[in-house]
A and B are shown apart, each in its own frame.
Chain A
Amino acid sequence: MQSKTVQVLLIEDDEVDAEGVRRAFDKKHIANPLMVVQDGVEALAVLRGEQGFQKLHRPFMILLDLNLPRMNGIEFLQQLRADANLKDSIVFVLTTSADTEDKKAAYDYNVAGYLVKANVGEEFLSVTELLDCFWRLVEFP
């Protein structure tokens, strides 16, 4: 068991999709703190405690959309893995892109899982369940 609650950083520029994640958390009574940022640049600032953001403390988990403004998901992964303090971060990709190239690129940067969000509804609830199980059972860095 984690000694501290896992915080979730959601990197998602579509506020309806972000709301969808929030609602799914509520439905499954997941109380873990959820922070939403809109792109890779903002996410790195939060993870490093730069630009006036308070640094996100461990344990945390990242939910990453790939199609983002300024710094897209793959570029973000590249920066993340190159940063000595952040390279061990646990990242799940949550995207509409079933593109095989995107998938390969994401796994090349050692993501924990690549989840395609089809219609959010019921399917998304099972994704939420998976994440809930994950941080219950898995020891975080």
Chain B
Amino acid sequence: MNQRSTSDCTTHRLLGRAAVLAMDAIVIQDTEGIILTLNDSACRLYGYSEQEAVGMPFDNLLSSQHRQQWQQIRDSLHVNHMAGPILDSRIRRDGTHIQVRVTATLIPAQGDDPSVVCTIERSDAAQTGSQQALDAARAGLAQSQADLDDFAYVASHDLRAPLRGIRNLSQWITEDAAGVLPEQSARHLDQLIGRIDRMERLLDDLLQFSRAGRERHPVEIVDVNDMITEVLSLIDRPEGMTLEIPDNMPALRTGRVPLQQVWMNLISNAVKHHDHNDGRIMITWRPAQAASNRYVEFAVADDGPGVEPRYREKIFQMFQTLRPRDQVEGSGMGLAIVRRLVQGRGGKLWYEPAHPRGSVFRFTWPWDTAKTHQTEVIAHAVENRTSTVD
């Protein structure tokens, strides 16, 4: 005998308990249709207390035209033992009608116990309820996202004022005390001003990050080749560094500014983090591989040092840099901003190692931003959010 098997008595107790806790309404009636017992969900669904319901005819839950039908179902159970699922309606205690899906089973007589009919009933309204809860949660998520954007905006804007004061004061000290200060203090003042510059950049980027979520841009036809040429003219790069771009780059219907920000960040990252002056940066594209053909996939590849596996998720987080800030200019917001811009249009941004060395940053962008459905954007944002949580 299996040591783990429980006694029949325990099994019945556990199953009984489970039935009480079940989400579906469970009603047990005798073969005459008198309710013997019911679980909490049934009480809630029909609006009766347990005391009221026990001993009450099941017919009280039925409209007159359904009573005959139910007698037939009860009778048929003696032959088939099971019926359903049937779409049926019930009358609640307050007189309202609800739709339910019902399965009915006959539990045969055993010893002194007569046979009983068990119905398991699920209300469509309960499903509607959970849909409402989902909608509410979604609205809540959108709201907290908006609050976060507002917070970032206010913080970056309001922190600027005292910082401006600090900058002025340190400049004035430099001006007024230039000849008087010990060499060390003069150097400290320089460093102080350097830190203020850095803080201002952080605030700028924070502001940009919050705008990446808030701002809507007019949609126009954008020739990606022209856009990248323009971006390149704005980026300082070593003379030996080459950029390869296919001559069949597509044109998209999209807001110009956000896409330009994406290219700007990805290309300047590739330049900034390259360890050779004669590095290569390669841009490619293809229709997105995902089920949806509404997206195009771009890639910015380089033959630089690449990103170690353990940092490959971290680089997309806010304020993350992998090198000391005194060596590489940057707030660590670039990829966080890019990811936000891309996700805001239902796209994705991810990292792949290049072979034999280097990094590939791939992102998808809609062919036509105006046709991107909001639900898709939300779905992707939720999916990406869960995947980036530590």
List the interface of chain A (C-beta within 8 A of B).
14, 16-17, 19-20, 23, 96, 119-121
User: Are B165 and A14 in touch, CB under 8 angstroms?
Assistant: yes
Q: Which of B164, B165, B172 has the most CB of A within 10 A?
A: B164
A16 touches B160 (CB 8 A): no
Residue of A nearest to B160 (CB): A96
Interface residues of B (CB under 8 A from A): 160-161, 164-165, 167-169, 171-172
Chain B residues whose CB sits within 8 angstroms of the CB of A120 once the complex forms: 164, 168
Q: Please report the C-alpha to C-alpha distance between residue A121 and residue B171 in the assembled complex, in whole angstroms.
A: 9
Q: Could you say which residues of chain B place their CB within 8 Å of the CB of A20?
A: 168
Question: How far does the Cβ of A98 sit from chain B's closest Cβ, in whole Å?
Answer: 10
Beyond A14-B165, A16-B169, A120-B164, 15 additional contacts (C-beta under 8 Å) are: A14-B161, A16-B165, A16-B168, A17-B168, A19-B172, A20-B168, A23-B172, A96-B160, A96-B161, A96-B164, A119-B164, A119-B167, A120-B168, A121-B168, A121-B171
- Do the beta carbons of A17 and B160 come within 8 Å of each other? no
- A19 CA to B176 CA, complexed, in Å: 14
A-B contact count (CB 8 A): 20
CB distance from A65 to the nearest CB of B (A): 11
Q: Which residues of A contact B161 (CB under 8 A)?
A: 14, 96
Query: What chain A residues lie within 8 Å of B168 (beta carbons)?
Result: 16-17, 19-20, 120-121
Tell me the nearest residue of chain B to A67, going by C-beta: B161
Q: Please, how many angstroms separate the alpha-carbon atoms of A14 and B172 in the complex?
A: 16
The 9 closest A-B pairs by CB, nearest first: A16-B165, A120-B168, A20-B168, A16-B168, A16-B169, A96-B161, A14-B165, A23-B172, A119-B164
- A26 CB to nearest B CB, Å: 11
Bound CA span A120–B168, Å: 7
Name the residue of chain B whose CB is nearest to the CB of A27: B175
Of chain A, the residue at the smallest CB distance from B166 is A16
Chain A min CB distance to B343 (Å): 28
Instruction: Please indicate the chain B residues that have their CB under 8 angstroms from the CB of A16 in the complex.
Output: 165, 168-169
Query: Which A residues lie within 8 Å of B165 (CB)?
Result: 14, 16-17
Measured in the bound complex, the distance between the Cα atoms of B172 and A20 in whole Å is: 9
Q: Which of B160, B161, B168 has the most CB of A within 10 A?
A: B168
Give the Cβ gap from A14 to chain B, nearest Cβ, in Å: 6
State the CA gap A14–B161 with chains docked (Å).
9
- Could you list some 9 contacts between A and B, CB below 8 A? A14-B161, A14-B165, A16-B168, A16-B169, A17-B168, A23-B172, A96-B164, A119-B164, A119-B167
When distances are taken between beta carbons in the complex, the residues of chain B under 8 Å from A119 are: 164, 167
B164 / chain A contacts, CB cutoff of 8 Å = 96, 119-120
Inter-chain contacts of A121 with B (CB < 8 A): 168, 171
Chain A residues within an 8 Å CB radius of B172: 19, 23
Q: Smallest distance from the beta carbon of B260 to chain A beta carbons, Å?
A: 22
CA distance A16 to B164 in the complex (A): 9
- In the assembled complex, the CB of A126 is this many whole angstroms from the nearest CB of chain B, namely 16
Cα distance A23–B172 in the bound complex, in angstroms:
9
Complex Cα distance, B172 from A19, in Å, reads 10
Closest CB of chain A to B357's CB: distance in Å? 42
For residue A23, which residues in chain B have a CB less than 8 angstroms away from its CB?
172
B172 nearest CB neighbor, chain A only: A23
Q: How far is the CB of B154 from chain A (nearest CB, A)?
A: 13
A14 to B166, CA, bound (A): 12
Within 8 Å CB of A14, what residues of B? 161, 165
Closest chain B CB from A68 CB (angstroms): 13
Q: Inside 8 A of B167's CB, which chain A residues have their CB?
A: 119
CB distance from A12 to the nearest CB of B (A): 12
A139 vs chain B, min Cβ distance (A): 34
- A116 CB to nearest chain B CB (Å): 12
In the complex, A121 Cα to B172 Cα: how many Å? 10
Chain B: which residue is nearest A97 at the CB level?
Answer: B157
Q: Measured between C-beta atoms, what is the minimum distance from A37 to chain B in Å?
A: 19
Complex-state Cα separation, A96 to B169, whole angstroms: 17
Q: Determine the distance from Cα of A14 to Cα of B171 in the docked complex, in whole angstroms.
A: 17
Closest Cβ of chain B: how far from A66's Cβ, in Å?
12
- A25, chain B: closest CB distance, angstroms: 14
A19 to B160, CA, bound (A): 18
Cβ distance B259 to chain A, nearest Cβ, rounded Å: 25
Q: Looking across the interface, which residue of chain B has its beta carbon closest to that of A16?
A: B165
Residue on A with the closest CB to B167? Answer: A119
Query: Nearest chain A CB to B204's CB is how many angstroms away?
Result: 13
Most chain B beta-carbon contacts within 10 A, residue among A16, A19, A20: A16
Rounded to whole angstroms, the CA-CA distance of A96 and B161 in the bound complex is: 8
Residues of A within 8 Å of B171, CB to CB, are 121
In the assembled complex, the CB of A57 is this many whole angstroms from the nearest CB of chain B, namely 31
Alpha-carbon separation in the docked complex, A96 to B160 (Å): 9
Q: Distance (Å) between the CB of A7 and the closest chain B CB?
A: 24
Min CB distance B167 to A, Å, is 7
Whole-angstrom CA separation of A111 from B276 in the bound complex = 56
